[in-house]
C-alpha cells in the first residue's frame, strides 16, 4: 500500500523492522522525529526507549544495551554526533554492533539547525581517535531511508561494529509516497559453545549474562578480553582483523546506483539528497545531447575506490557534487588518474540545484575537450 | 468543466494532466493549517496514483509568521525534491506573500485570500474570500480548506473524491463537518468562476 511517510519516520520504521528493541537519545533538530517515533513504536513492542541527559550517555546506553544482546540505536545531528565520537570509538574497540543515525545540518558547531548539509562524511570515518573498521551509509529518498536503516542494522550485526547512517535535514523532514518492502534481517551470530570461547576478534558475539566471564574494555585487549594496554600487538591485531572483516566483504557492503554510465563522458558523483539533483542534471544534460551519467554512492565508508576509479578513468571529466566544501571529492580525486575532477559544493543551507550541477558538468566537459584539443 | 483523466483506473486532475510535474505551494500564517493542507494534497495525489514529494518550512518560522508547505505531484518518479517557482501558489496571508512571493514566475497561478491581498501588488492573482467564507461556514480556522477546495475546483490537480477521503482521514472528528462545509464552499466558489 502506498503511504505518505516522512524521512525520519521511515528511519524509525526501518529500525523496528530490522529488529531494533532499544533506543537511547537526546533530541536535536533535524533528527528529533526519529526519537519521537521510536518512543511510540518501541514500548508497545516490548522494546525500551530512553531519553538520556545528553549524547555521551545516549551512546553509552546504546553500547550497554547491545551487550545484553539487543539491537540498539541512537539518532542525532552534527553537534551530538561529535559528542558521541568517544563512545563510537569504544563501540569499535569492543566490537559492539549498533547503529548511529546522523541527520546532517550545517556546521561547524550549532550552525544552521534546520538546514541540510553533508559535512559529516569525514567525521563518520575519522571522528574518533585511532584507526578502526568503519561503515557509513547514506540515503537519498524516504524509501531509501527505510531500506538503508535496515542495511545499517544488518551490517552492524554481520560485521559486529557501529554503523553510521548519514541523512540530512531535507530528507529527514520531507515526505514521499512509499511502499515499504520486506527486507531480510540479519542477526548477530552466537558461538556454538561458551567453552574456550574468545569474546573478541570474531563476528561471534556472546552477550553479557550468557554464562561466560570476560571483561569488555576500551583498553587494548586480546581475544580473551584480557587488557593489553602497553607494548602489545594485541590491539593492532584485533583492529586489523576488524578492518579485514569489512574489506573482505567490500563488494557486498559498498552499495551504489549507476545511471547512464555506459557511454558517459561526463560523470557526476553524488550521494544522499544531492544525488537527486544530480539525477535531474543528468536528465537535463542527456536531453541536450551531452553524454552524462550518475554514480550515486550509497555507501561512503568503506569508500568504493576501485569502482569510482574505473568509472572516473573511463570518463573525460568528473564533477563531485556535495553539500560541503570538499570531502568526498578528495577520495574521488585520489583514484581518478588523469581525468580532471571538479568540485561543486556549498554549505549555506540550500540544496545544490540541478541547473547548477548541469552547468558545472557542461563546463567541466568543455574544459576537458579544450585541453585535449590544445595538447594536440 | 474540464474532462477528467484516469490513470491506473483512478481519476486524476485534467487541467494540469498534460504536464509531467506540478509544483504547488501553500503558504499562510503559522497556525492557518498550511501544513495540513499540503498533507491533504499529497495524500489525495497518492490516492490518484501520482508520485509526490512534500516539504515544508520548519522550526520557529512554522510557528510564528509565514509558513509554507510545498508539494510536487508527478506522473514520473521525482528527482529533485524542491519546486523552485511554483506552478500553483495558494496564499492565505499577507505575510506569506511577502515571504514567498519572490518565487513567483510568469507561469505561476496565484490564488490568494482577497482580504490578505489588500495593499499588495499581486499581479493577476485570483482573489478568493477564503477567510471570510470559512467564517461563514462556522470555522474561520478552515480557510485553508476553503482555499484547497477552490484550488482543486479550479485546476483538478487532484480529484475531489481523493481530497474528500484525505480530509475525512486527517481531520479531527469534531471538526470534520465544518471542514467538509468549508471544502464544499471552496469548490462552489471555483464552480462560480468557471461558469
How much is the mean pLDDT over chain B?
Answer: 88
Confidence label for B12 from pLDDT (cuts 50, 70 and 90): very low
Nearest to A257 by CA among A312, A283, A294: A294
Query: Would you say residue B14 has pLDDT above 70?
Result: no
**Which secondary structure element, helix H or strand E, spans residue B116, and what is its range?**
none
Which residue in the set B43, B79, B82 is minimally distant from A4, CB to CB? Answer: B43
CB contact under 8 A, B53 and A175: yes
Q: Which residues of B touch A (CB under 8 A)?
A: 39, 42-43, 45-46, 50-56, 58-59, 78-82, 84
Q: What is the pLDDT of residue A123?
A: 98
Task: Tell me what the mean pLDDT of segment A105-121 comes to.
Answer: 96
Q: What is the pLDDT of residue B57?
A: 83
Confidence label for B195 from pLDDT (cuts 50, 70 and 90): low
- The answer to whether residues A135 and A178 touch, using CB atoms and an 8 Å cutoff, is no
Rg, Å, chain B Cα set: 15
CB contact under 8 A, A4 and B84: no
Query: Would you say residue A166 has pLDDT above 90?
Result: yes
**DSSP code of residue B48:** T
Task: Tell me what the mean pLDDT of segment A326-341 comes to.
Answer: 98
Is residue B31 situated within a structural domain? Answer: yes
Give the residue from A175, A257, A292, A296 with the most B CB atoms within 10 Å of its CB, the best one to mutate: A175
pTM: 0.94
For residue range B46-95, list pLDDT tens digits in order: 999 999 999 998 766 656 689 999 999 999 999 999 998 999 999 999 99
Q: What is the pLDDT of residue B30?
A: 86
CB contact under 8 A, B79 and A354: yes
Q: What is the pLDDT of residue B193?
A: 87
CB contacts < 8 Å between A and B, how many?
Answer: 60
Which of the residue ranges A129-133, A342-346, B13-17 would you say has the lowest mean pLDDT? Answer: B13-17
**DSSP code of residue B36:** H
Q: What is the pLDDT of residue B4?
A: 36
Report the distance separating Cα B69 and Cα B61, nearest Å: 12
Is residue B1 situated within a structural domain? Answer: no
CATH number of the domain within which B151 lies: 3.40.920.10
Is residue B69 situated within a structural domain? Answer: yes
Is residue B5 situated within a structural domain? Answer: no
Contacts A9 to B, Cβ<8 Å? none
Give the residue from B79, B83, B170 with the most A CB atoms within 10 Å of its CB, the best one to mutate: B79
For residue range A227-286, list pLDDT tens digits in order: 999 999 999 999 999 999 999 999 999 999 999 999 999 999 999 999 999 999 999 999
Confidence label for A373 from pLDDT (cuts 50, 70 and 90): confident
Confidence label for B130 from pLDDT (cuts 50, 70 and 90): very high
The alpha-carbon gap from B54 to the nearest alpha carbon of chain A, in Å, equals 5
CB contact under 8 A, B53 and A351: no
Confidence label for B129 from pLDDT (cuts 50, 70 and 90): very high
Is residue B27 situated within a structural domain? Answer: yes
Is residue B185 situated within a structural domain? Answer: yes
Task: Tell me what the mean pLDDT of segment A120-142 comes to.
Answer: 98
Query: Would you say residue B20 has pLDDT above 70?
Result: yes
How many distinct structural domains can be found in chain B? 1
Which residue in the set A4, A173, A277 is minimally distant from B39, CB to CB? Answer: A4
Q: What is the pLDDT of residue A24?
A: 98
Task: Tell me what the mean pLDDT of segment A359-368 comes to.
Answer: 98
Q: What is the pLDDT of residue A371?
A: 85
Cα atoms in the 13 Å half-sphere on the side-chain side of A173: 21
Give the residue from B73, B82, B166 with the most A CB atoms within 10 Å of its CB, the best one to mutate: B82
CB contact under 8 A, A4 and B59: no
List of domains in chain A: 1-253 (3.40.50.970), 257-375 (3.40.50.920)
Contacts B55 to A, Cβ<8 Å? 170, 173-175
Q: What is the pLDDT of residue B19?
A: 62
Please state the ipTM of this predicted complex. Answer: 0.93
Task: Tell me what the mean pLDDT of segment A185-206 comes to.
Answer: 94
Nearest to A15 by CA among A207, A169, A172, A151: A151
The alpha-carbon gap from B59 to the nearest alpha carbon of chain A, in Å, equals 7
> A158-178 in b/e burial notation, b at 16+ Cβ within 10 A?
bbbbbbbbbbbbbbbbbbbbb
Nearest to B146 by CA among B122, B127, B170: B127
SS3 sequence, chain A? CCEEEEHHHHHHHHHHHHCEEEEEECCCCCCHHHHHHHHHHCHHHCCEEEECCCHHHHHHHHHHHHCCCCEEEEEECHHHHHHHHHHHHHHHHCCCCEEEEEEEEECCCCCEEEEECCCCHHHHHHCCCCCCCCEEEECCCHHHHHHHHHHHHHHHHHHCCEEEEEEEHHHHHCEEEECCCCCCCCCCCCCCCCCCCCCCCCCCCCCCCCCCCCCCCCCCECCCCCECCCCCCHHHHHHHHHHHHHHHCHHHHCCEEEECCCCCCEEEEECCHHHHHHHHHHHHHHHCCCCEEEEEECEEECCCHHHHHHHHHCCCEEEEEECCCCCHHHHHHHHCCCCCEEEEECCCCCCCCHHHHHHHHHHHHHHHHHHHHHHC
Is residue B79 situated within a structural domain? Answer: yes
Is residue B2 situated within a structural domain? Answer: no
Q: Which residues of A touch B (CB under 8 A)?
A: 2-4, 29-30, 113-114, 169-170, 173-177, 273, 276-277, 279-280, 283, 351, 353-354
Nearest to B166 by CA among B149, B154, B141, B150: B149
The alpha-carbon gap from A30 to the nearest alpha carbon of chain B, in Å, equals 9
Domain that holds residue B178: 12-190
Task: Tell me what the mean pLDDT of segment B179-186 comes to.
Answer: 97
Contacts A113 to B, Cβ<8 Å? 59
Task: Tell me what the mean pLDDT of segment A350-358 comes to.
Answer: 97
Amino acid at each position: 500500500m502506498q503511504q505518505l511517510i516522512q524521512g525520519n519516520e521511515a528511519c524509525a520504521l526501518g529500525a523496528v523492522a530490522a529488529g531494533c528493541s532499544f533506543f537511547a537519545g537526546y533530541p536535536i533538530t533535524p533528527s528529533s522525529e526519529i526519537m519521537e517515533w521510536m518512543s511510540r513504536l518501541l514500548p508497545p513492542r516490548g522494546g525500551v526507549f530512553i531519553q538520556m541527559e545528553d549524547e555521551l550517555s545516549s551512546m553509552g546506553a546504546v553500547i550497554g544495551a547491545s551487550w545484553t544482546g539487543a539491537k540498539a540505536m541512537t539518532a542525532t545531528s552534527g553537534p551530538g554526533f561529535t559528542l558521541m565520537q568517544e563512545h563510537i570509538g569504544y563501540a569499535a574497540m569492543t566490537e559492539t554492533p549498533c547503529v548511529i543515525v546522523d541527520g546532517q545540518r550545517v556546521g561547524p558547531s550549532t550552525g544552521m539547525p534546520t538546514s541540510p548539509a553533508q559535512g559529516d562524511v569525514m567525521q563518520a570515518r575519522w571522528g574518533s581517535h585511532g584507526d578502526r573498521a568503519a561503515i557509513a551509509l547514506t540515503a537519498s529518498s524516504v524509501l531509501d531511508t527505510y531500506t538503508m536503516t535496515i542495511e545499517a542494522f544488518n551490517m552492524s550485526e554481520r560485521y559486529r561494529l557501529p554503523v553510521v547512517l548519514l541523512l540530512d535535514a531535507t530528507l529527514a523532514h520531507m515526505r514521499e509516497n512509499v511502499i515499504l518492502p520486506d527486507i531480510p534481517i540479519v542477526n548477530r551470530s552466537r558461538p556454538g559453545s561458551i567453552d574456550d570461547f574468545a569474546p573478541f576478534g570474531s563476528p561471534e558475539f556472546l552477550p553479557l549474562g550468557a554464562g561466560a566471564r570476560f571483561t569488555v574494555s576500551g583498553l587494548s585487549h586480546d581475544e580473551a578480553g584480557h587488557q593489553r594496554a602497553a607494548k602489545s600487538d594485541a590491539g593492532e591485531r584485533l583492529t586489523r582483523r576488524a578492518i579485514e572483516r569489512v574489506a573482505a566483504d567490500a563488494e557486498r557492503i559498498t552499495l551504489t546506483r549507476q545511471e547512464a554510465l555506459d557511454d558517459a563522458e561526463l560523470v557526476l558523483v553524488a550521494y544522499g539528497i544531492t544525488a537527486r539533483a544530480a539525477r535531474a542534471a543528468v536528465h537535463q544534460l542527456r536531453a541536450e545531447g551531452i553524454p552524462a551519467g550518475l554514480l550515486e554512492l550509497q555507501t561512503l565508508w568503506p569508500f568504493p575506490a576501485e569502482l569510482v576509479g574505473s568509472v572516473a578513468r573511463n570518463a573525460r571529466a568528473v564533477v563531485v557534487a556535495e553539500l560541503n566544501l570538499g570531502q568526498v571529492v578528495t577520495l574521488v580525486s585520489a583514484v581518478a588518474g588523469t581525468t580532471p575532477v571538479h568540485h561543486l559544493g556549498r554549505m549555506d543551507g540550500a540544496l545544490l540545484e540541478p541547473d547548477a550541477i548541469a552547468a558545472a558538468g557542461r563546463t567541466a566537459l568543455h574544459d576537458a575537450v579544450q585541453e585535449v584539443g590544445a595538447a594536440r | 468543466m474540464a474532462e477528467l483523466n484516469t490513470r491506473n483506473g483512478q481519476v486524476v486532475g485534467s487541467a494540469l494532466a498534460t504536464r509531467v510535474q506540478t509544483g504547488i505551494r501553500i503558504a499562510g500564517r503559522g497556525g492557518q493549517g498550511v501544513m495540513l493542507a499540503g498533507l491533504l494534497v499529497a495524500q489525495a495525489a497518492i490516492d490518484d496514483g501520482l508520485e509526490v514529494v512534500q516539504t515544508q518550512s520548519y522550526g520557529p518560522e512554522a510557528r510564528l509568521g509565514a509558513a509554507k508547505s510545498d508539494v510536487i505531484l508527478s506522473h514520473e518518479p521525482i528527482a529533485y525534491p524542491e519546486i523552485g517557482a511554483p506552478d500553483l501558489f495558494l496564499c492565505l496571508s499577507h505575510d506569506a506573500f511577502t515571504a514567498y512571493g519572490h518565487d513567483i514566475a510568469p507561469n505561476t497561478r496565484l490564488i490568494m485570500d482577497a482580504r490578505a491581498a489588500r495593499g499588495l501588488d499581486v499581479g493577476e492573482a485570483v482573489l478568493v474570500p477564503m477567510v471570510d467564507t470559512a467564517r461563514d461556514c462556522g470555522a474561520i480556522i478552515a480557510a485553508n480548506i476553503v482555499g484547497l477546495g477552490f484550488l482543486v475546483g479550479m485546476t483538478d490537480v487532484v480529484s475531489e473524491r481523493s481530497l474528500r477521503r484525505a480530509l475525512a482521514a486527517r481531520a479531527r472528528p469534531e471538526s470534520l463537518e465544518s471542514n467538509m462545509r468549508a471544502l464544499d464552499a471552496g469548490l462552489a466558489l471555483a464552480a462560480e468562476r468557471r461558469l
